[in-house]
Amino acid sequence: DGGITQSPKYLFRKEGQNVTLSCEQNLNHDAMYWYRQDPGQGLRLIYYSQIVNDFQKGDIAEGYSVSREKKESFPLTVTSAQKNPTAFYLCASSVTSSSNQPQHFGDGTRLSIL
């Protein structure tokens, strides 16, 4: 089945540690996105990539980094500079970044601090 796979489902981070969240899609989509979801809030955009080897900061990029070396993969690193990393992280993709293209979401990674 085509879709978006996020791993791991649950992740724990120690103080001062960087962690990387995986996102893989087999939909042949050009655009990929990372969102952060906190209770009672909508999703907020961290980073997005419209095409391979290119990415842009979203609304809350501080303390995060990404890479887009392959079309199907868009890993997110939560660095130690992100002081409040506990959240539900969602990866999405779309055919292109055009406004009428809906985004398809993975099942998320829940990150907690030890």
Partner 1 sequence: AQSVTQLDSHVSVSEGTPVLLRCNYSSSYSPSLFWYVQHPNKGLQLLLKYTSAATLVKGINGFEAEFKKSETSFHLTKPSAHMSDAAEYFCVVVGGATNKLIFGTGTLLAVQP
Q: Which residues bind partner 1 (CB under 8 A)?
A: 4, 6, 33, 40-45, 48, 58, 88, 90, 92, 97-100, 102-108, 110
Q: Max Cα separation, the chain?
A: 41
Query: Which tokens in the block code for residue 87?
Result: 């959240």
Residue that has been written with the tokens 């985004």 in this structure: 103
Other CB atoms within 10 Å distance of the CB of residue 42: 7
Q: Compute the least distance from the CB of residue 91 to partner 1, in Å.
A: 8
Rounded to whole angstroms, what are the CA distances from 98 to 4, 29, 95, 103?
Answer: 19, 12, 8, 10
Please, what is the minimum distance in Å from the beta carbon of residue 29 to partner 1?
A: 14
Q: Least distance to partner 1 from the beta carbon of 10, Å?
A: 10
- Least distance CB 94 / partner 1 (angstroms): 9
Backbone angles phi, psi at 99, to 5 degrees: -65, -25
> Would you say 44 or 71 has its CB closer to partner 1?
44
When the beta carbons of 16 and 102 are compared against partner 1, the nearer one is 102
Paired strand residues for 4: 25
CB nearer partner 1, residue 18 or residue 98 = 98
Nearer to partner 1, 30 or 80 (CB): 30
